[in-house]
Structure 1
Amino acid sequence: MSNVLNNFLTENLDALKNQGLYNEIDPVEGPNGAKINVRGSELINLSSNNYLGLATNPALKQIAKDAVDKYGVGAGAVRTINGTLDLHVRLEQKLAEFKGTEAAISYQSGFNCNMAAISAVMDKNDAILSDQLNHASIIDGCRLSKAKIIPFNHSDMEDLRAKAKQATESGQYNKVMVITDGVFSMDGDIAKLPEIVEIAKEFDLITYVDDAHGSGVTGKGKGTVKHFGLEKEIDFQIGTLSKAIGVVGGYVAGKKNLIDWLKVRSRPFLFSTALPPGDVAAITAAVQMIIDSTELHDKLWENGDYLKAGLSKLGFDIGASETPITPCIIGDEKLTQTFSKRLFEEGVYAKSIVFPTVPKGTGRVRNMPTADHTKEMLDEAIAIYEKVGKELGVIN
């Protein structure tokens, strides 16, 4: 290794560790369910995005195995050559049904969706109005497009309207897009989509909603756009297939001509091997399960409400979450890291979230209850939170 690179890495890694900003990765020894094994310890798992428990669902595991037996472990090519299996076609038809749109396109990850879709439509002659708390993949997708990025204050509709007016009336841009997460993953609040649509109609903005944490969770499982009844008003519905759906990948849903354009102009679709068949079969079945029943969705919300009530009663700052996402906001980064480590030692896996994922001084332990958690697990977790919170002076 060159001396320059070695010095750069050593100095900056040491700085991150000293500031409490260095993230240590814990391999999970087995399935990522309501309980997990890490470093030989069984822990109550409150850090997974596996909202509905589908990542470990026995029926989905069998469906994936059957697809591997029939189709193999990989698709074998990019979608535009001969990597499009009949499984992919059925998946995209099911996703369009799920999101209430004319068509859909699948990608290898939710992150890829934002890299693909934004840059396929927006360019240096355009502008993007982006919520300040949008996910990193949205930010990177906007940068890749080379459009002018105009951030607006988080869920501040007056600021959005003022900036939309300025951007559209300036005459500088061919197209203007407004982008927001549907559910903001660090705080659990929901975007003000009706107001955003109203502003978009007023100024002829392209509308783009990334519902990674909403699909399967809000709108009785069908997402935040469905929650507000705006399926015909939102141009781009983006989602991931790795959170509530429980597998891997992402999708864009919208009008047929939009999806046709993405198939010929979005680079991750054109230049990455297609999703593997076992995953595609499991995803399609998982989406069908969410369409057919709200049982898992209802259990998720029941558990989320129960955990929130327990932590709030103890005096923890859980922010203003409107979804099962339950942050415990600690503030100081080092204290947040210590808090998470003590939870681990007592039997709860709840990962610390610090800068740059959240602003400095707002470190938190983010809790993600799932449909698979039992009340007994949640009661045990709440008791451990009380013990650690009092020990570290986070609560009285």
Structure 2
Amino acid sequence: MFLNLSARLAERRDADLYRRRPLLETPQGVNVLVDGQSLLAFCNNDYLGLANHPQVIEAFVQGARQWGVGGGASHLVVGHSTPHHQLEEALAAFTGRPRALLMSSGYMANLGAVTALVGQGDTVLEDRLNHASLLDAGLLSGARFSRYLHNDAASLQSRLGKAVGDTLVVTDGVFSMDGDLAELPAICAAARQHGAWVMVDDAHGFGCLGEHGGGIVEHFGLNTEDVPVLIGTLGKAFGTAGAFVAGSEELIESLIQFARPYIYTTSQPPAVACATLRSLELLREEVWRRVHLARLIVRFREGVSAIGLELMNSPTPIQPIVVGSSARALALSAALRERGILVTAIRPPTVPRGTARLRVTLCAAHTEADVDRLLETLQLAVASLPESHD
């Protein structure tokens, strides 16, 4: 056999790293039917509870009726519809930047931006815990690629001193598996000293951080000069699908000309853009969603501390509980599921070896009673496992 796939799969099973897809049999939400089981879910990224919002659904339906189902072509051929353009203008206004460019996914936005901006003879510096799409983009750019220590401005400074050519510093805004925030003011200051650009993927920050939900840049009071390249995804707090890049006129025009994942792919269905326009309005109008979510985060963290479990330093809806081994993370996830709670076990290679965890994510659609039920069930699940389970 050319590739011994069976052996590779068996090795992954033996290491408790095999992944299986749960089958969701209801719309996305906090109360779901998965593989035939009714569960209270704490594992999606629908942070503001907009993925199944009636007004967003209606905007999608009306958009499909007016604009059809498919994008039909790439943006540069004849796939750039009026709803796409309206959404780009709305996202530019939302982020306080001159332009925004709509992309089909966050992965494509990151890949497109990095590879269009730097190449052979240049330098890309990335946080060690960046999302896989950012790391892949750096590797595929052809630039000199280096990873600085997580959230360590001194480590970044050291690497900036050795950079060649044009230099792009790339970081997540909110780290997806730890939930902590990038030390963005210090990162931007270091980059500025060396004439480097900063690119932030704020997939998990938009909608949750900042007074108006503008994400980590708003949270820290930074601007376009500090962060010239700002990436956002629409499948998380916005509740729909796709992604965008926001920045200067020159940046967006450069991406239109040089970003291959933008140039050579069909545009997203216009109806999705219609739905996102409505979800963006709800995100801005219904401030109670962020306020309620913030209260749930505090309630959960206080409850977990009382149980005596290890929480990571996260002020966001991402609340990882580190348990160590992959086997224990799987066992704890299974014990919760037996009691009607769905929380995913996150294991290597997504996180470093020895730091397998339960990745609890909170949502504005959760109630305080939901969080209390999770805490009570978590305590029972922990008690049901032997201490030495590995």
Structure 2 length as normaliser, TM-score?
0.97
Q: Distance in 1 between matches of 2:366 and 2:138?
A: 37
The question of whether the paired residues in 2 share the 8 Å contact of 1:67 and 1:281 is answered with: yes
Q: Distance in 2 between matches of 1:378 and 1:357?
A: 26
Residue in 1 that maps onto 2:12: 16
Residue in 2 that maps onto 1:318: 311
- For 1:142, the aligned partner's letter is G
The question of whether the paired residues in 2 share the 8 Å contact of 1:94 and 1:288 is answered with: no
**Shift of the alpha carbon at 1:269?**
1.2
Q: Distance in 2 between matches of 1:337 and 1:280?
A: 37
Residue in 1 that maps onto 2:236: 243
The question of whether the paired residues in 2 share the 8 Å contact of 1:46 and 1:367 is answered with: yes
For residue 301 of structure 2, the aligned residue among 302, 308, 313 is: 308
Q: Does 1:265 align with 2:261?
A: no
Residue in 2 that maps onto 1:225: 217
The question of whether the paired residues in 2 share the 8 Å contact of 1:222 and 1:291 is answered with: no
**Shift of the alpha carbon at 1:290?**
1.8
Q: Distance in 1 between matches of 2:313 and 2:345?
A: 18
For residue 385 of structure 1, the aligned residue among 378, 381, 386 is: 378
Q: Distance in 2 between matches of 1:330 and 1:113?
A: 33
Q: Does 1:297 align with 2:290?
A: yes
For residue 92 of structure 2, the aligned residue among 92, 96, 106 is: 96
**Deviation digits for residues 337-374 of structure 1 (CA, Å, limit 9, x no counterpart):** 11111111111100100001000110001000100001
Q: Distance in 1 between matches of 2:14 and 2:76?
A: 48
| Greater than 3 Å deviation, 4+ residue runs | none
Residue in 2 that maps onto 1:38: 34
Q: Which moved more, 1:282-291 or 1:18-27?
A: 282-291
- For 1:268, the aligned partner's letter is P
Give the 5 Å matches for 1:359-374. Answer: 359-374=352-367
**Shift of the alpha carbon at 1:196?**
1.0
Residue in 2 that maps onto 1:63: 59
DSSP-derived class of the 1:264 partner: helix
Cα–Cα, structure 1 residues 349 and 243, in superposed 2: closer, same or farther, change >3 Å? same
**Shift of the alpha carbon at 1:394?**
6.0
Residue in 2 that maps onto 1:188: 179
| Structure number with higher helix proportion | 1
**Shift of the alpha carbon at 1:313?**
1.1
Q: Does 1:29 align with 2:21?
A: no
Q: Distance in 1 between matches of 2:67 and 2:317?
A: 37
**Deviation digits for residues 259-313 of structure 1 (CA, Å, limit 9, x no counterpart):** 0111111111111110101111011111122223322111111112211211121
Q: Distance in 1 between matches of 2:81 and 2:366?
A: 36
DSSP-derived class of the 1:4 partner: coil
Give the 5 Å matches for 1:135-154. Answer: 135-154=131-150
Q: Distance in 2 between matches of 1:322 and 1:152?
A: 23
DSSP-derived class of the 1:25 partner: coil
Q: Does 1:113 align with 2:112?
A: no
For residue 216 of structure 1, the aligned residue among 183, 207, 228 is: 207
**Shift of the alpha carbon at 1:231?**
2.1
For residue 128 of structure 1, the aligned residue among 124, 133, 146 is: 124
Cα–Cα, structure 1 residues 112 and 79, in superposed 2: closer, same or farther, change >3 Å? same
Number of positions where the alignment pairs a residue of Structure 1 with one of Structure 2: 386
**Shift of the alpha carbon at 1:126?**
0.4
Residue in 2 that maps onto 1:170: none
Q: Distance in 2 between matches of 1:252 and 1:121?
A: 13
Q: Distance in 2 between matches of 1:166 and 1:271?
A: 34
- For 1:204, the aligned partner's letter is G
Root-mean-square deviation (CA), in Å?
Answer: 1.2
- For 2:297, the aligned partner's letter is G
**Deviation digits for residues 104-160 of structure 1 (CA, Å, limit 9, x no counterpart):** 001000011011110011101100111000000000111111111111000011111
- For 1:363, the aligned partner's letter is A
**Deviation digits for residues 24-65 of structure 1 (CA, Å, limit 9, x no counterpart):** 110101111011111221111000000000001011000100
**Shift of the alpha carbon at 1:320?**
1.2
The question of whether the paired residues in 2 share the 8 Å contact of 1:63 and 1:281 is answered with: yes
The question of whether the paired residues in 1 share the 8 Å contact of 2:125 and 2:167 is answered with: yes
- For 2:122, the aligned partner's letter is D
Q: Does 1:157 align with 2:153?
A: yes
Q: Distance in 1 between matches of 2:136 and 2:277?
A: 28
Q: Distance in 1 between matches of 2:262 and 2:276?
A: 18
Residue in 2 that maps onto 1:203: 194
What are structure 1's unaligned runs of at least 5 residues?
168-172
DSSP-derived class of the 2:321 partner: strand
Residue in 2 that maps onto 1:281: 274
DSSP-derived class of the 1:243 partner: coil
- For 2:2, the aligned partner's letter is V
DSSP-derived class of the 2:236 partner: coil
For residue 340 of structure 2, the aligned residue among 336, 347, 353 is: 347
**Deviation digits for residues 165-212 of structure 1 (CA, Å, limit 9, x no counterpart):** 222xxxxx2201111100001111101111111111111011100000
Q: Distance in 2 between matches of 1:218 and 1:149?
A: 30
